[in-house]
Structure 1
Amino acid sequence: MERRRQQKNQDKGAPKWMVTFSDLMTLILVFFILLFSMSVVDATKFRAVAESFQQRAIFDFYPSLIPFENPAEDISVKRDPSDDVNDPFNDVRKKEKDNDYDLDQLFQEVQEFLQENELNDVISATRDDRGVVLILQERTLFESGEAQILDGAKPFLTKVGTLLETIPNLVKVEGHTDSRPISTFRYPSNWELSGARASSVIRYFTEINDLDPYRFLAVGYGDTRPVVPNTNDTNLQKNRRVVIVISDPSYNQNELF
Protein backbone atom coordinates (compact mmCIF):
# COMPACT_ATOMS: atom_id res chain seq x y z
CA MET A 1 0.00 0.00 0.00
CA GLU A 2 2.85 2.39 0.86
CA ARG A 3 4.53 1.77 -2.53
CA ARG A 4 1.33 2.61 -4.45
CA ARG A 5 0.84 5.84 -2.49
CA GLN A 6 4.43 6.90 -3.15
CA GLN A 7 4.05 6.12 -6.85
CA LYS A 8 0.85 8.17 -7.09
CA ASN A 9 2.50 11.12 -5.37
CA GLN A 10 5.39 11.03 -7.80
CA ASP A 11 3.09 11.04 -10.85
CA LYS A 12 1.41 14.38 -9.93
CA GLY A 13 2.43 17.63 -11.78
CA ALA A 14 4.81 18.30 -14.68
CA PRO A 15 8.43 17.30 -14.65
CA LYS A 16 10.81 19.79 -13.03
CA TRP A 17 12.68 20.45 -16.28
CA MET A 18 9.41 21.53 -17.88
CA VAL A 19 8.99 24.36 -15.34
CA THR A 20 12.47 25.70 -16.11
CA PHE A 21 11.86 25.40 -19.85
CA SER A 22 8.53 27.26 -19.65
CA ASP A 23 10.14 30.06 -17.64
CA LEU A 24 12.85 30.35 -20.27
CA MET A 25 10.32 30.51 -23.10
CA THR A 26 8.35 33.17 -21.23
CA LEU A 27 11.46 35.30 -20.81
CA ILE A 28 12.34 34.95 -24.48
CA LEU A 29 8.79 35.88 -25.48
CA VAL A 30 8.89 39.00 -23.29
CA PHE A 31 12.26 39.91 -24.77
CA PHE A 32 10.97 39.74 -28.35
CA ILE A 33 7.85 41.69 -27.40
CA LEU A 34 10.07 44.45 -26.05
CA LEU A 35 12.16 44.47 -29.22
CA PHE A 36 9.04 44.64 -31.36
CA SER A 37 7.52 47.47 -29.32
CA MET A 38 10.71 49.53 -29.66
CA SER A 39 10.92 48.95 -33.41
CA VAL A 40 7.39 50.18 -34.15
CA VAL A 41 7.24 53.95 -34.92
CA ASP A 42 4.15 55.91 -34.01
CA ALA A 43 3.50 57.64 -37.35
CA THR A 44 1.37 60.36 -35.76
CA LYS A 45 3.95 61.26 -33.15
CA PHE A 46 6.78 61.10 -35.68
CA ARG A 47 4.90 63.42 -38.04
CA ALA A 48 4.37 65.94 -35.24
CA VAL A 49 8.07 65.87 -34.29
CA ALA A 50 9.18 66.14 -37.92
CA GLU A 51 6.89 69.09 -38.62
CA SER A 52 8.12 70.90 -35.50
CA PHE A 53 11.71 70.49 -36.68
CA GLN A 54 10.67 71.59 -40.16
CA GLN A 55 9.50 74.91 -38.79
CA ARG A 56 12.87 75.41 -37.15
CA ALA A 57 14.72 74.67 -40.42
CA ILE A 58 16.84 71.94 -38.80
CA PHE A 59 16.20 69.47 -41.60
CA ASP A 60 17.16 71.88 -44.37
CA PHE A 61 19.32 69.36 -46.20
CA TYR A 62 17.58 66.10 -45.24
CA PRO A 63 14.33 64.85 -46.85
CA SER A 64 11.51 63.78 -44.58
CA LEU A 65 10.83 60.08 -44.03
CA ILE A 66 7.09 60.75 -44.07
CA PRO A 67 5.53 62.71 -46.96
CA PHE A 68 3.73 65.88 -45.88
CA GLU A 69 0.21 66.80 -46.90
CA ASN A 70 1.42 69.97 -48.65
CA PRO A 71 4.39 69.13 -50.90
CA ALA A 72 4.92 72.83 -51.59
CA GLU A 73 5.90 73.22 -47.94
CA ASP A 74 8.48 70.45 -48.11
CA ILE A 75 11.62 71.22 -46.14
CA SER A 76 13.79 70.62 -49.19
CA VAL A 77 13.42 74.35 -49.82
CA LYS A 78 16.42 75.92 -48.14
CA ARG A 79 15.92 78.65 -45.59
CA ASP A 80 16.89 82.13 -46.66
CA PRO A 81 19.82 83.27 -44.46
CA SER A 82 18.29 86.73 -44.36
CA ASP A 83 15.49 85.28 -42.18
CA ASP A 84 17.90 85.24 -39.22
CA VAL A 85 16.68 88.09 -37.06
CA ASN A 86 19.96 88.13 -35.14
CA ASP A 87 22.02 89.00 -38.21
CA PRO A 88 22.69 92.79 -38.28
CA PHE A 89 23.15 92.67 -42.08
CA ASN A 90 19.59 91.41 -42.69
CA ASP A 91 18.07 94.72 -43.77
CA VAL A 92 20.98 95.44 -46.10
CA ARG A 93 20.86 92.01 -47.75
CA LYS A 94 17.10 92.19 -48.25
CA LYS A 95 17.39 95.58 -49.93
CA GLU A 96 20.12 94.21 -52.19
CA LYS A 97 17.84 91.36 -53.27
CA ASP A 98 14.74 93.47 -53.73
CA ASN A 99 16.43 96.06 -55.93
CA ASP A 100 18.85 95.82 -58.81
CA TYR A 101 21.37 98.50 -58.08
CA ASP A 102 23.74 99.52 -60.84
CA LEU A 103 27.31 99.54 -59.56
CA ASP A 104 28.50 100.33 -63.06
CA GLN A 105 26.82 103.73 -62.84
CA LEU A 106 28.46 104.40 -59.48
CA PHE A 107 31.81 103.36 -60.94
CA GLN A 108 31.33 105.74 -63.85
CA GLU A 109 30.49 108.66 -61.54
CA VAL A 110 33.58 107.99 -59.43
CA GLN A 111 35.78 107.94 -62.52
CA GLU A 112 34.29 111.23 -63.74
CA PHE A 113 34.91 112.83 -60.34
CA LEU A 114 38.54 111.67 -60.36
CA GLN A 115 39.10 113.06 -63.84
CA GLU A 116 37.45 116.38 -63.12
CA ASN A 117 39.51 116.87 -59.97
CA GLU A 118 42.74 115.38 -61.39
CA LEU A 119 42.98 112.73 -58.71
CA ASN A 120 43.82 109.75 -60.91
CA ASP A 121 47.45 109.82 -59.77
CA VAL A 122 46.60 109.23 -56.12
CA ILE A 123 43.22 107.46 -56.31
CA SER A 124 42.32 104.58 -58.60
CA ALA A 125 38.93 103.03 -59.24
CA THR A 126 38.38 99.56 -60.69
CA ARG A 127 35.41 97.27 -61.23
CA ASP A 128 35.82 93.54 -60.56
CA ASP A 129 33.86 90.57 -59.18
CA ARG A 130 33.89 92.05 -55.68
CA GLY A 131 32.27 95.29 -56.83
CA VAL A 132 33.74 98.79 -57.13
CA VAL A 133 37.24 98.96 -55.63
CA LEU A 134 38.75 102.35 -54.71
CA ILE A 135 42.44 102.55 -53.82
CA LEU A 136 43.55 105.73 -52.03
CA GLN A 137 47.24 106.43 -51.48
CA GLU A 138 48.33 107.38 -47.99
CA ARG A 139 49.43 110.90 -48.92
CA THR A 140 45.88 111.61 -50.06
CA LEU A 141 44.34 110.75 -46.71
CA PHE A 142 46.84 110.96 -43.86
CA GLU A 143 50.08 112.38 -42.58
CA SER A 144 52.86 109.83 -42.20
CA GLY A 145 52.25 107.65 -39.16
CA GLU A 146 48.85 109.23 -38.46
CA ALA A 147 45.19 108.21 -38.91
CA GLN A 148 43.47 111.59 -38.91
CA ILE A 149 41.90 112.38 -42.29
CA LEU A 150 43.39 115.37 -44.08
CA ASP A 151 41.12 118.19 -45.20
CA GLY A 152 42.17 117.64 -48.82
CA ALA A 153 40.74 114.12 -48.78
CA LYS A 154 37.33 115.10 -47.45
CA PRO A 155 35.76 116.23 -50.78
CA PHE A 156 36.42 112.84 -52.37
CA LEU A 157 35.21 110.91 -49.32
CA THR A 158 32.10 113.09 -49.24
CA LYS A 159 31.48 112.28 -52.89
CA VAL A 160 31.83 108.55 -52.22
CA GLY A 161 29.56 108.85 -49.18
CA THR A 162 26.93 110.65 -51.28
CA LEU A 163 27.00 107.83 -53.82
CA LEU A 164 26.70 105.26 -51.03
CA GLU A 165 23.54 107.00 -49.85
CA THR A 166 21.80 105.86 -53.04
CA ILE A 167 22.64 102.17 -52.64
CA PRO A 168 22.49 99.78 -49.66
CA ASN A 169 25.57 97.71 -50.59
CA LEU A 170 27.97 96.48 -47.93
CA VAL A 171 31.33 98.25 -47.79
CA LYS A 172 34.69 96.92 -46.65
CA VAL A 173 37.49 99.37 -45.83
CA GLU A 174 41.05 97.99 -45.67
CA GLY A 175 44.06 99.71 -44.17
CA HIS A 176 47.54 98.82 -45.49
CA THR A 177 51.03 99.99 -44.53
CA ASP A 178 54.56 99.43 -45.80
CA SER A 179 57.06 97.16 -44.06
CA ARG A 180 58.80 99.88 -42.05
CA PRO A 181 58.10 99.35 -38.35
CA ILE A 182 56.30 101.92 -36.23
CA SER A 183 56.29 102.16 -32.47
CA THR A 184 54.47 105.08 -30.90
CA PHE A 185 52.27 105.48 -27.86
CA ARG A 186 49.15 105.53 -30.04
CA TYR A 187 50.25 102.97 -32.63
CA PRO A 188 52.61 100.32 -31.21
CA SER A 189 52.75 98.56 -34.59
CA ASN A 190 51.50 98.71 -38.17
CA TRP A 191 48.49 96.61 -37.12
CA GLU A 192 47.10 99.41 -34.96
CA LEU A 193 47.93 102.08 -37.54
CA SER A 194 46.28 100.26 -40.47
CA GLY A 195 43.19 99.43 -38.42
CA ALA A 196 42.87 103.01 -37.17
CA ARG A 197 43.07 104.39 -40.71
CA ALA A 198 40.33 102.06 -41.96
CA SER A 199 38.17 103.00 -38.96
CA SER A 200 38.72 106.73 -39.60
CA VAL A 201 37.34 106.40 -43.13
CA ILE A 202 34.27 104.52 -41.92
CA ARG A 203 33.70 107.01 -39.12
CA TYR A 204 33.76 109.81 -41.69
CA PHE A 205 31.06 108.08 -43.75
CA THR A 206 28.84 107.41 -40.76
CA GLU A 207 29.21 110.88 -39.24
CA ILE A 208 29.27 113.12 -42.31
CA ASN A 209 26.94 111.15 -44.60
CA ASP A 210 24.94 109.55 -41.78
CA LEU A 211 25.31 106.06 -43.27
CA ASP A 212 24.28 102.91 -41.42
CA PRO A 213 27.33 101.60 -39.53
CA TYR A 214 26.15 98.02 -40.00
CA ARG A 215 27.03 98.33 -43.68
CA PHE A 216 30.75 98.69 -42.96
CA LEU A 217 33.66 96.52 -41.93
CA ALA A 218 37.08 97.91 -41.00
CA VAL A 219 40.12 95.67 -41.52
CA GLY A 220 43.75 96.45 -40.74
CA TYR A 221 46.19 94.30 -42.70
CA GLY A 222 49.36 96.07 -41.59
CA ASP A 223 52.17 95.27 -44.03
CA THR A 224 51.00 91.72 -44.76
CA ARG A 225 49.49 92.42 -48.21
CA PRO A 226 51.90 94.57 -50.23
CA VAL A 227 51.06 95.21 -53.87
CA VAL A 228 54.77 95.56 -54.73
CA PRO A 229 57.98 94.58 -52.89
CA ASN A 230 59.06 97.05 -50.22
CA THR A 231 62.42 97.64 -51.88
CA ASN A 232 62.42 101.39 -52.62
CA ASP A 233 60.62 104.62 -51.71
CA THR A 234 58.27 104.41 -54.69
CA ASN A 235 57.11 100.91 -53.76
CA LEU A 236 56.81 101.80 -50.09
CA GLN A 237 54.53 104.65 -51.09
CA LYS A 238 52.32 102.34 -53.17
CA ASN A 239 51.91 99.91 -50.31
CA ARG A 240 50.70 102.64 -47.91
CA ARG A 241 47.08 102.79 -48.95
CA VAL A 242 43.41 102.47 -48.00
CA VAL A 243 41.14 100.25 -50.09
CA ILE A 244 37.37 100.78 -50.19
CA VAL A 245 35.40 97.83 -51.58
CA ILE A 246 31.77 98.61 -52.42
CA SER A 247 30.46 95.07 -52.69
CA ASP A 248 28.48 93.58 -55.53
CA PRO A 249 25.37 91.82 -54.11
CA SER A 250 26.03 88.81 -56.35
CA TYR A 251 29.49 88.32 -54.84
CA ASN A 252 29.92 85.84 -51.99
CA GLN A 253 29.74 88.04 -48.89
CA ASN A 254 31.60 85.44 -46.83
CA GLU A 255 34.63 85.82 -49.06
CA LEU A 256 34.41 89.59 -48.90
CA PHE A 257 34.03 89.76 -45.11
Structure 2
Amino acid sequence: MPRSAKEEAEEGAPAWILSYADLTQQLLCMFVLMFAMMKYDVTKAAVLRQAMETFGKGLPPAPIESENNALASTIFTEKIPELYTVGAKYPGPIEGMNLLVTRVHEGLKITTEGVSEFEEGSAELSDDFKAILDSMAEQFFRDYPNVIEIRGFTAANAEDSVNGDHSLLSYNRAKNAADYLINQKEKTKIDPKRIRVTACGNNDPLVFQLDLKQRHKNRRVEIIVSEELVRPSH
Protein backbone atom coordinates (compact mmCIF):
# COMPACT_ATOMS: atom_id res chain seq x y z
CA MET A 1 0.00 0.00 0.00
CA PRO A 2 1.59 3.35 -1.02
CA ARG A 3 2.44 5.80 1.74
CA SER A 4 0.53 9.02 1.98
CA ALA A 5 2.22 12.44 1.58
CA LYS A 6 1.63 13.10 5.28
CA GLU A 7 3.58 9.98 6.27
CA GLU A 8 6.50 10.98 3.99
CA ALA A 9 6.65 14.45 5.54
CA GLU A 10 6.86 13.03 9.04
CA GLU A 11 10.07 11.14 8.23
CA GLY A 12 12.11 14.36 8.60
CA ALA A 13 15.03 15.70 6.57
CA PRO A 14 16.98 13.41 4.26
CA ALA A 15 20.20 11.87 5.55
CA TRP A 16 22.47 13.99 3.32
CA ILE A 17 21.37 17.17 5.11
CA LEU A 18 22.55 15.75 8.43
CA SER A 19 25.93 14.93 6.89
CA TYR A 20 26.15 18.44 5.45
CA ALA A 21 25.38 19.97 8.86
CA ASP A 22 28.10 17.85 10.48
CA LEU A 23 30.56 18.97 7.81
CA THR A 24 29.83 22.69 8.27
CA GLN A 25 30.16 22.31 12.04
CA GLN A 26 33.54 20.65 11.63
CA LEU A 27 34.69 23.39 9.24
CA LEU A 28 33.60 26.05 11.72
CA CYS A 29 35.55 24.36 14.51
CA MET A 30 38.59 24.16 12.24
CA PHE A 31 38.46 27.90 11.44
CA VAL A 32 38.06 28.77 15.12
CA LEU A 33 41.14 26.71 15.96
CA MET A 34 43.11 28.29 13.11
CA PHE A 35 42.16 31.78 14.29
CA ALA A 36 43.11 30.95 17.87
CA MET A 37 46.54 29.64 16.82
CA MET A 38 47.42 32.35 14.31
CA LYS A 39 50.00 35.06 15.08
CA TYR A 40 48.31 38.46 15.40
CA ASP A 41 50.21 41.10 13.42
CA VAL A 42 49.58 44.47 15.09
CA THR A 43 51.03 46.44 12.20
CA LYS A 44 48.95 44.80 9.48
CA ALA A 45 45.85 45.02 11.65
CA ALA A 46 46.37 48.78 12.08
CA VAL A 47 46.76 49.27 8.33
CA LEU A 48 43.65 47.18 7.65
CA ARG A 49 41.60 49.06 10.23
CA GLN A 50 42.60 52.43 8.80
CA ALA A 51 41.81 51.28 5.25
CA MET A 52 38.37 50.02 6.32
CA GLU A 53 37.61 53.32 8.07
CA THR A 54 38.61 55.29 4.96
CA PHE A 55 36.76 53.13 2.41
CA GLY A 56 33.46 54.56 1.22
CA LYS A 57 34.10 58.11 2.43
CA GLY A 58 35.54 59.36 -0.85
CA LEU A 59 38.83 60.10 0.89
CA PRO A 60 42.35 59.09 -0.09
CA PRO A 61 44.05 56.55 2.15
CA ALA A 62 45.62 58.04 5.25
CA PRO A 63 49.35 58.68 4.75
CA ILE A 64 50.78 55.62 6.44
CA GLU A 65 54.13 55.48 4.68
CA SER A 66 55.58 52.40 6.34
CA GLU A 67 54.77 49.55 8.64
CA ASN A 68 56.70 51.36 11.37
CA ASN A 69 54.28 54.29 11.09
CA ALA A 70 51.30 51.98 11.43
CA LEU A 71 52.88 50.38 14.47
CA ALA A 72 53.62 53.80 15.97
CA SER A 73 49.98 54.77 15.56
CA THR A 74 48.92 51.62 17.36
CA ILE A 75 51.41 52.28 20.15
CA PHE A 76 50.01 55.82 20.50
CA THR A 77 46.53 54.34 20.94
CA GLU A 78 47.76 51.84 23.51
CA LYS A 79 49.57 54.57 25.46
CA ILE A 80 46.49 56.81 25.71
CA PRO A 81 45.62 55.59 29.25
CA GLU A 82 49.16 56.51 30.30
CA LEU A 83 48.93 59.97 28.75
CA TYR A 84 45.70 61.07 30.32
CA THR A 85 42.55 60.02 32.12
CA VAL A 86 39.36 60.20 30.06
CA GLY A 87 37.37 63.24 31.09
CA ALA A 88 40.23 64.61 33.17
CA LYS A 89 41.00 68.29 33.66
CA TYR A 90 44.58 69.42 33.33
CA PRO A 91 45.47 72.76 34.95
CA GLY A 92 46.28 75.44 32.41
CA PRO A 93 49.03 78.04 32.73
CA ILE A 94 46.62 80.51 34.34
CA GLU A 95 44.58 79.86 37.48
CA GLY A 96 40.99 78.91 36.72
CA MET A 97 41.78 77.66 33.22
CA ASN A 98 41.83 73.97 32.39
CA LEU A 99 42.52 71.67 29.48
CA LEU A 100 39.79 69.08 28.97
CA VAL A 101 40.79 65.84 27.26
CA THR A 102 38.38 63.29 25.84
CA ARG A 103 38.76 60.20 23.68
CA VAL A 104 37.08 60.46 20.27
CA HIS A 105 37.05 58.25 17.20
CA GLU A 106 40.01 60.04 15.62
CA GLY A 107 42.21 60.14 18.74
CA LEU A 108 42.32 62.81 21.47
CA LYS A 109 40.12 65.89 21.57
CA ILE A 110 41.50 68.78 23.61
CA THR A 111 39.33 71.74 24.58
CA THR A 112 39.53 74.54 27.14
CA GLU A 113 37.56 75.56 30.20
CA GLY A 114 37.50 79.00 31.77
CA VAL A 115 39.09 80.66 28.74
CA SER A 116 37.60 83.33 26.47
CA GLU A 117 39.32 82.34 23.24
CA PHE A 118 37.90 84.98 20.86
CA GLU A 119 35.98 88.23 21.02
CA GLU A 120 32.65 88.31 19.21
CA GLY A 121 33.14 88.59 15.45
CA SER A 122 36.93 88.36 15.76
CA ALA A 123 39.45 85.69 14.78
CA GLU A 124 42.25 87.19 16.88
CA LEU A 125 43.48 84.83 19.58
CA SER A 126 43.24 86.15 23.12
CA ASP A 127 46.44 86.28 25.17
CA ASP A 128 44.99 83.70 27.56
CA PHE A 129 44.29 81.34 24.68
CA LYS A 130 47.83 81.75 23.34
CA ALA A 131 49.13 80.67 26.74
CA ILE A 132 46.77 77.69 26.63
CA LEU A 133 48.05 76.71 23.17
CA ASP A 134 51.61 76.78 24.49
CA SER A 135 50.57 74.48 27.32
CA MET A 136 48.73 72.14 24.93
CA ALA A 137 51.78 71.88 22.70
CA GLU A 138 54.06 71.05 25.60
CA GLN A 139 51.79 68.37 27.07
CA PHE A 140 50.19 66.74 24.04
CA PHE A 141 51.65 67.75 20.66
CA ARG A 142 55.40 67.84 20.88
CA ASP A 143 56.48 64.26 21.41
CA TYR A 144 54.35 62.50 18.78
CA PRO A 145 54.34 62.77 14.94
CA ASN A 146 50.55 62.66 14.82
CA VAL A 147 48.33 64.82 12.64
CA ILE A 148 46.80 67.75 14.52
CA GLU A 149 43.39 68.89 13.28
CA ILE A 150 42.29 72.34 14.42
CA ARG A 151 38.53 72.90 14.15
CA GLY A 152 37.13 76.42 14.30
CA PHE A 153 33.63 77.31 15.55
CA THR A 154 31.43 80.38 15.90
CA ALA A 155 28.35 81.23 17.91
CA ALA A 156 25.09 81.28 15.94
CA ASN A 157 24.32 84.99 16.29
CA ALA A 158 24.92 87.19 13.25
CA GLU A 159 27.47 89.35 15.06
CA ASP A 160 29.80 86.36 15.38
CA SER A 161 30.40 86.03 11.64
CA VAL A 162 32.00 87.80 8.68
CA ASN A 163 29.10 89.55 6.96
CA GLY A 164 26.85 86.66 7.92
CA ASP A 165 29.39 84.01 6.89
CA HIS A 166 30.02 81.77 9.91
CA SER A 167 32.17 79.33 7.95
CA LEU A 168 34.69 82.02 7.02
CA LEU A 169 35.08 83.27 10.58
CA SER A 170 35.40 79.74 11.95
CA TYR A 171 38.07 79.02 9.33
CA ASN A 172 39.98 82.17 10.25
CA ARG A 173 39.91 81.19 13.92
CA ALA A 174 41.28 77.73 13.22
CA LYS A 175 43.86 79.14 10.79
CA ASN A 176 45.09 81.72 13.30
CA ALA A 177 45.50 79.02 15.96
CA ALA A 178 47.44 76.91 13.45
CA ASP A 179 49.61 79.86 12.42
CA TYR A 180 50.39 80.59 16.07
CA LEU A 181 51.58 77.04 16.69
CA ILE A 182 53.65 77.07 13.50
CA ASN A 183 55.19 80.47 14.18
CA GLN A 184 56.08 79.35 17.71
CA LYS A 185 57.91 76.32 16.31
CA GLU A 186 61.03 76.86 18.43
CA LYS A 187 58.83 76.62 21.51
CA THR A 188 56.20 74.12 20.37
CA LYS A 189 58.44 72.07 18.03
CA ILE A 190 55.45 71.29 15.80
CA ASP A 191 56.08 70.36 12.17
CA PRO A 192 53.72 72.43 9.93
CA LYS A 193 52.99 69.30 7.90
CA ARG A 194 51.18 67.87 10.90
CA ILE A 195 48.52 70.59 11.06
CA ARG A 196 45.15 70.58 9.30
CA VAL A 197 42.48 73.26 9.55
CA THR A 198 38.71 72.68 9.46
CA ALA A 199 35.90 75.26 9.42
CA CYS A 200 32.84 74.08 11.37
CA GLY A 201 30.79 77.30 11.28
CA ASN A 202 28.17 77.59 14.01
CA ASN A 203 27.61 73.84 14.26
CA ASP A 204 27.87 71.81 17.48
CA PRO A 205 27.29 74.61 20.01
CA LEU A 206 28.42 73.89 23.56
CA VAL A 207 25.81 76.11 25.22
CA PHE A 208 22.31 77.34 24.47
CA GLN A 209 22.49 80.33 22.15
CA LEU A 210 20.19 82.54 24.24
CA ASP A 211 22.43 82.25 27.31
CA LEU A 212 24.34 85.49 26.73
CA LYS A 213 26.71 84.93 29.67
CA GLN A 214 27.82 81.55 28.37
CA ARG A 215 27.61 82.12 24.61
CA HIS A 216 31.31 82.96 24.40
CA LYS A 217 32.01 79.23 24.89
CA ASN A 218 30.74 78.62 21.36
CA ARG A 219 33.44 80.96 19.98
CA ARG A 220 36.22 78.42 20.10
CA VAL A 221 38.57 75.98 18.47
CA GLU A 222 38.82 72.28 19.23
CA ILE A 223 42.04 70.42 18.66
CA ILE A 224 42.15 66.77 17.65
CA VAL A 225 45.39 64.84 18.06
CA SER A 226 44.73 62.14 15.48
CA GLU A 227 46.06 58.60 15.37
CA GLU A 228 47.10 59.37 11.78
CA LEU A 229 50.81 60.02 11.32
CA VAL A 230 52.93 62.10 8.95
CA ARG A 231 56.60 61.90 8.13
CA PRO A 232 58.49 64.64 10.02
CA SER A 233 60.28 67.33 8.00
CA HIS A 234 64.06 67.20 7.90
Which TM-score applies when normalising by structure 1? 0.52
- Structure-2 residue corresponding to 1:150: 126
SS at match of 1:140: coil
The 4+ residue runs of structure 1 with deviation greater than 4 A are 90-94
SS at match of 2:156: coil
Letter in 2 for 1:118: G
Q: By how many angstroms is 1:156 displaced?
A: 1.9
Distance in 2 separating the partners of 1:239 and 1:150: 15
SS at match of 1:125: strand
SS at match of 2:200: strand
Aligned length: 165
Distance in 2 separating the partners of 1:219 and 1:145: 18
Letter in 2 for 1:135: T
Which TM-score applies when normalising by structure 2? 0.56
1:235-246 equivalences under 5 Å are 236-246=215-225
- Structure-1 residue corresponding to 2:190: 211
Is 1:176–1:223's contact at 8 Å kept on the other side of the alignment? yes
The percent identity for this pair of structures is: 21
1:91-106 equivalences under 5 Å are 95-98=69-72, 100-101=75-76, 102-106=79-83
Q: Which runs of 5+ in 1 are unaligned?
A: 1-76, 251-257
Relative to its length, the structure with more helix (as a share) is: 1
Q: Which runs of 5+ in 2 are unaligned?
A: 1-43, 51-59, 230-234
Is 2:170–2:199's contact at 8 Å kept on the other side of the alignment? yes
Is 1:134–1:244's contact at 8 Å kept on the other side of the alignment? yes
1:165-176 equivalences under 5 Å are 165-176=142-153
SS at match of 2:91: helix
Kindly indicate whether structure 1 or structure 2 has the higher relative contact order, using CA contacts under 8 Å at least 6 residues apart. 2
SS at match of 1:132: strand
- Structure-1 residue corresponding to 2:166: 190
Distance in 2 separating the partners of 1:91 and 1:140: 39
Q: By how many angstroms is 1:87 displaced?
A: 7.8
> Which is greater in Rg?
1
